[in-house]
Structure 1
Amino acid sequence: MLMAVPALPGPALKVEDLLGQLETGVAVLDRSGVLVYANPAFCELFAVSPSRSHGLPVQALGEPARVFIPLVERVRAGGASVRLREQTLETRTGRSLHADIGVSLWTDDGVLLEVHELGADISAMPTARLSESLRGLAHEVKNPLAGLRGAAQLLKRRLVEPDLVRLAELVMSEADRLAALTDRLLQPGGKPHLSVLNLHEVAERARALIAAEAEPALRLERDYDPSLPSLRGNGDRLLQLVLNLMRNALQAKASRIGLRSRAEHNVLIGDKAVRLAARLDVIDDGVGVPETLRHTLFMPLVSGRSKGTGLGLALAQEIAQEHGGTLSYRSRPGQTVFSLLLPLGSEPARASETGWTDHG
């Protein structure tokens, strides 16, 4: 029987009935790690008979229990909810399940386990597929880019006003960056050159570019953590990532875009744990991510706009993964936050080798 929860207003409705309607797999575990409730979606994901789920030890779920048990123990010890994104679980039936996992306190004695199956195995989406989609485009833009840079260079020589000179230089630097990007797309497989860089400098460069192309009414805000250390990365690639996120915000009819940086301690990035990571949030007040796209948003060729290419966010996720990081989001109308998480310092350690406390 499900543990007691606060009564809901209105007609009597059991919590089991509410959870039973969810497409997300939900189970409640007692203090000893035994299932006291599992909704139909959870039973289907793990091939468990609904009539036999009550009283089933979590270990009986097989290999996925090795992921669930440390998360449950972590939540019991610290009280904070834990979420792991894009995990691959091998079920007892041999099925490879790709899902987001969440664990939180339910009552003093119970823990709520959520397993949200993703629409497709994003981790198996080959990088080559995206690069192949862009390679033809790279051929087409190289010559126009060279002409654009040449025109900006000639224009700069004739300008006197400092602000206009800076704009011409901005056009030239962007043409150079895009030319380097096309070269990389034409020669796939090579790793980007990494150097020590300041994430705030990347963010400020993106901010300047967006300010130059957006309407004057757009409010651009920033809230940086000055203590954030430098990291190793490719400045051009990270700039492309931030620009893609900010341009998405513009296309979502945002009137305000904010950039916020923070240091994160003892976090999980995928299945790896890092002692220190940099988080850069791109926050906007636009219309939000459509519900129909939430499970496929980072896949190539998926777009919520009739004229969209569906490549911007897929490329952004690819760049984050190149740097050992990840890109996630949360969204509702009026507030969407895309969060880039990048490891700082030494090579990340496996989560199973340490006593990490949180992050998904």
Structure 2
Amino acid sequence: MNNRSRQDHALTGTGLGAAALLDQLATAVLVLDGSLRIRYLNSATEMLFGASVRRLAGTSLTSLVLHGESLAERLLEALTSEAPYTERELNLRLGSLNETTPVVVDCMVTPIRLINGARALLLELHQQDRHLRISREENLLTQQQASRAVVRGLAHEIKNPLGGLRGAAQLLDAEVHDPDLRDYTRVIMAEADRLQQLVDTLLGSNRPLRIGEVNIHEVMERVRTLVAAEGHPGITVRSDYDPSLPCLTGDMDQIIQAMLNIVRNAIEAVLPQSQRNQPAAIVLSTRAQRQFTIGHRRHRLVIRVDVIDNGPGIPPELVEQIFYPMVTGRAEGTGLGLSIAQDLIGRHGGTIECHTRPGETRFSVFLPLQQGES
């Protein structure tokens, strides 16, 4: 009986094998052999490194961590001395499999002996920036809910006098016979109608979700078709999909609208580059993430959709506010696209995050596979 089988046998009374039990943890757990190659990893490790067990198993840890020579020295010393140690707030840059993503972890290293007597290391990685992200996300959701309530209250107050204004202009238009004067009344009615549409947009959709099976790749290809029809020469839109992703449950039309708003925002960001004949590119990426927390709820599996552009980035003073209504960095923008997208994704139990720097802005949409899953 191998090591995994012995653990599974010991847990038979719980109805869970050791692997299934460890996969429920939010902590990344790895076992490294004497060459620091990964011999075991749980689902949280897949999420941390952004790669599947198939790609990670048997890989040297030092090949996954940029400039990991000093980490390797400490691990080999622990392996030789069989002395456990803990390192707090270890800054890692995960390379090759996760596009050099910086993470901050508390690392606990425990030397162990495998059933065949070989030396190995048990690593537990607690991702500290993940906890900071969850806390920041909870604060952001609270602020957005308060902002949305204020905006919707204001929109309701605007609708009543706006309807009266439009009605009075319509009555005046019927009484005026001078064509020049009727031009003015029609301008008033047209502007009142435009403001009515803006107010309706601020109020958002009150339609109940039409829940059905949604293939996220059908959604993204529909979005690609729509933006291609709008005509943006010089902008390259490339896809990087994980074909193994299952379908999720949700309202396909609302998810399409949310993703369309995000992709259009990316197009606006790179449009000046394309007009100057500079490289302008957008990447649409899909991946699965396990044991992911959204707000106060942890989900076993979520679908992550990234919309990545190579534009100039978002000004630092706007990053924390871009999902608020009427906040925009463009003079001609309404500041509603991202706010509406966050609202629509939020109705599906998901969330949108943004990470930006000059040359790369990434909007990440997280959607639970099932409504109400935890």
Q: Is residue 2:262 matched to residue 1:245? A: yes
Q: Quick check: which has more Rg, 1 or 2?
A: 2
Contact 1:257 1:283 in 2 (8 A): yes
Equivalent residue number for residue 121 of structure 1: 143
1:107 is aligned to: none
Amino acid at match of 1:124: A
Specify the alignment match of 2:292 in structure 1.
267
| Contact 1:130–1:315 (8 Å) recurs in 2 | no
**C-alpha deviation, 1:236, in angstroms:** 1.3
Deviation at 1:188, TM superposition (A): 5.4
**2:222 equivalent to 1:222:** no
Partner of 2:4: none
Asked if residue 308 in structure 1 is aligned to residue 318 in structure 2, the reply is no
5+ unaligned residues in a row in structure 1: which ranges?
1-30, 34-70, 89-98, 102-116, 141-181, 350-360
Unaligned 5+ segments in structure 2 are: 1-85, 89-104, 110-122, 164-198, 272-279
Query: Which position in structure 1 is the counterpart of 2:250?
Result: 233
> Partner of 2:323 in structure 1?
298
CA distance in 1, matches of 2:203, 2:322: 25
8 Å CA contact 2:304–2:367 kept in 1: the answer is yes
Map Cα deviations across residues 13-45 of structure 1 (whole Å, 9 max, x no partner).
xxxxxxxxxxxxxxxxxx8x9xxxxxxxxxxxx
Change (3 A) 1:131 1:226: farther
1:208 paired residue number = 225
Shift of 1:133: 4.7
Distance, in Å, in 2 between the alignment partners of 1:233 and 1:196 is: 7
Label 1:219 to 1:188 Cα distance change in 2 as closer, same or farther (>3 A).
closer
Q: Which one is further off, 247-256 or 233-242?
A: 247-256
Where 1:276 maps in the other structure, the secondary structure is: strand
**Identity across matched positions, percent:** 37
321-330 or 233-242, which moves further after superposition? 233-242
The CA deviation string for residues 266-291 of structure 1, in whole angstroms up to 9 with x for no partner, is: 11112210101100100111111111
* 1:86-105 → structure 2 map (5 Å cutoff): 99=136
Q: One-letter code of the match for 1:125?
A: S
Q: Distance in 1 between matches of 2:266 and 2:306?
A: 12
In 1, the alpha carbon distance for the partners of 2:125 and 2:350 equals 25
Question: Could you say what secondary structure the match of 1:77 adopts?
Answer: strand
Could you tell me how far apart the structure 2 residues matched to 1:120 and 1:266 are?
22
The within-5 A match list for 1:89-238 is 99=136, 121-126=143-148, 129=151, 133=155, 189-238=206-255
**TM-score normalised according to structure 1 size:** 0.52
Q: CA deviation at 1:226?
A: 0.6
8 Å Cα contact 2:204-2:340 kept in structure 1:
no
Contact 2:223–2:259 (CA under 8 A) maintained in structure 1: yes
1:83 has 2:130 as partner: yes
CA contact (8 A) 2:211 2:251 kept: yes
Native 8 Å contact 2:215 2:246 kept in 1: yes
Name the CA distance, whole Å, in 2 between partners of 1:239 and 1:127: 24
Secondary structure of the structure 2 residue equivalent to 1:253 = helix
State yes or no: 1:257 paired with 2:269. Answer: no
How has the CA–CA distance of structure 1 residues 273 and 336 changed in structure 2, closer, same or farther, with 3 Å as cutoff?
same
Question: 2:347 matched to which residue of 1?
Answer: 322
Deviation (angstroms), 1:216: 2.4
Residue of structure 1 in register with 2:95 after alignment: none
Aligned-residue offset at 1:215: 2.2
More helix by share: 2
The structure-2 alpha-carbon separation of the partners of 1:232 and 1:346, relative to structure 1 and needing over 3 Å to count, comes to: closer
Q: Give the TM-score taking structure 2 as reference length.
A: 0.50
CA pair 305-186 structure 1, distance change in 2 beyond 3 A = closer
Structure 2 Cα separation of the partners of residues 131 and 235 of structure 1 = 28
Equivalent residue pairs, number: 217
What RMSD over aligned residues (CA atoms) do the two structures have, in Å? Answer: 3.9
Does the CA-based 8 Å contact 1:85-1:270 persist in structure 2? no
Q: 1:186 to 1:332 in 2, by over 3 A?
A: closer
Separation in structure 1 between the aligned mates of residue 371 and residue 205 of structure 2, nearest angstrom:
27
**Aligned residue identity for 2:144:** I
